[in-house]
Amino acid sequence: NAGVMQNPRHLVRRRGQEARLRCSPMKGHSHVYWYRQLPEEGLKFMVYLQKENIIDESGMPKERFSAEFPKEGPSILRIQQVVRGDSAAYFCASSPRDREDEQYFGPGTRLTVT
């Protein structure tokens, strides 16, 4: 039973480019969560999605960041016009329906903006 998959594991982008981070939840899970970890910081909640629906985006920056979880395919976290401050590890978690307390985490994507 595969766990939460994230790809790529490492992503390097130049300032101004776009970054797309993918997350495939565990089989049978319908909820996805994105967190960001800056150096020397804990994980910060960004967004919580169900398929085709954003439940809570209270942690998403107002500009340049967007997330989706389509009916088919992985969840995507998209960062437009990246800046150096976006360099971080981005973690995705998934949970079964109505079990937000059971979040299983993926290995993360480490984004480096040069």
Partner 1 sequence: AQSVSQHNHHVILSEAASLELGCNYSYGGTVNLFWYVQYPGQHLQLLLKYFSGDPLVKGIKGFEAEFIKSKFSFNLRKPSVQWSDTAEYFCAVNWDDYGGSQGNLIFGKGTKLSVKP
Q: 104: which residues sit within 8 A by CB, 6+ positions away?
A: 3, 4, 26, 29, 93, 94, 95
Span from 18-26, 62-70, 79-87, 98-106 in contact with partner 1 (CB under 8 A): 98-106
Shortest gap between Cβ of 17 and partner 1 (angstroms)? Answer: 27
Specify burial of residue 48 (Cβ count, 10 A radius: 0-12, 13-18, 19+).
buried
Shortest gap between Cβ of 105 and partner 1 (angstroms)? Answer: 4
C-beta closer to partner 1: residue 46 or 82: 46
Told to check if 105 binds partner 1 by CB under 8 A, we report: yes
DSSP state of 40: T
The residue ranges that bind partner 1 (CB under 8 A) are 3-4, 31, 33, 35, 40-45, 48, 55-56, 58-59, 91, 93, 95, 100-108
